[in-house]
Amino acid sequence: MALVTSDNHGLRLAARYATLSLVALIFLFPLVFMVVSSLKPDQQLLADTSSIRAFLPVGDISLDNYVKAFERAPIGRFMANSVFVTVTTVLMSILLCSLAAFSFVFLDWTGRGALLSVIVATLIIPFETIAVPLLLLVSKLPWIGLEGLETGWLNTYRVQIIPWIADALTIFLFVQFFKDLPRELIEAARVEGASWLTIYRRIVMPLSGPVVATAAILKSLTMYNNQYLWPLIVVQDEAHRPVMVGLGYFFQLQIAWGEVMAYLTLISVPVIAFYLVLQRAFISSIASTGVKG
């Protein structure tokens, strides 16, 4: 009987792993296709799309597409711009949104519930509806820089960073997480005479690793992958362009698909690396907050 049970267990385990492997393969196929295609000349790439060869590094394999991609566009500059804008925005966003959430959850002030509702309600407003008013605003805003007072934020990093620091989703994530923290900790700290800022810095944030990871991943994906329309309309000089606008360099009359795949592979590296570093915290946060990215 014990032998039968063990066999059943083994079969179930095998079935489970087979299913999981299949699902993993489905998710991996696009990435494999992208990387493999980036190594093939265009004619072979297009011919292989109708067979399993599309996912196999076979035929005339080389790094030529990468060489040509670097010749076609300043990829290093675009990636550096995107990484700088993303990292800066994410860091400032985590700081400001967590402070806002801290205030909503732990401080007692009139209207906080209503204001939080209004902030969360902004989630339903698509960015496209506010893009033009925001463009008109930032084109007239003053700025004090190294060269003194300037007017207009166009063609700068700040115009790609500042409007994206505070957002409803990140505040909401922090609010939900902070609500589940043990109140006793906060009250004990208050009794001991700790200031609100000390509680935020010494108690709340050290306990918020999972939500910080979630917010960082979601925000960085938004900033790195989805920043197309906004930089397109506020950044005209090449020196400040991010990777998504740079993708347009590869869509000429005759599209060089191999180079497109090479470019996509290159710009995916920071995103995948960032996710791999934070994946444990991300999964833990999903389990605790129920948020799906």
CB of 161 to other proteins, least distance (A): 18
Residue 127 contacts by C-beta under 8 Å, 6 or more apart in sequence?
A: 229, 230
**CB of residue 58 to other proteins, shortest distance in Å:** 18
Q: Write out 158-180 in H/E/C secondary structure.
A: HHHHHHHCCCHHHHHHHHHHHHC
Closest to other proteins by CB, 64 or 238: 238
Closest contact distance (angstroms) between CB of 129 and other proteins is: 15
Beta-bridged to residue 149, according to DSSP, are: 144
Q: Please say which residue, 172 or 263, places its beta carbon nearer to other proteins.
A: 263
CB of 69 to other proteins, least distance (A): 10
Which of 219, 241 has the CB closer to other proteins? 241
Residues 273, 269: Cα–Cα separation, whole Å: 6
Residues 6+ apart with CB under 8 A from 241: 77, 78, 81, 231, 235
Q: Give the residue with the Cβ less far from other proteins, 92 or 131.
A: 131
- For residue 195, the 8-state DSSP code is -
State the nearest-atom distance from the C-beta of 236 to other proteins, in Å.
Answer: 6
Nearest to 289 by CA among 217, 216, 222, 211: 211
C-alpha Rg value of the chain to the nearest Å: 24
Nearer to other proteins, 141 or 281 (CB): 141
Closest CB to other proteins among 35 and 233? 233
The residues of the shown chain that bind other proteins, judged by CB under 8 A, are: 43, 46-47, 49, 71-73, 132, 135-136, 139, 152, 154, 232-234, 236-238, 245-255
C-alpha span between 273 and 278 (Å, rounded): 9
CA-wise closest residue to 291 among 161, 123, 125: 123
Q: Minimum Å distance from CB 262 to other proteins?
A: 13
Q: Quick one: 158 or 190, whose CB is closer to other proteins?
A: 158
Least distance from other proteins to the Cβ atom of residue 268, Å: 19
Distance CA 204, CA 195 (A): 12
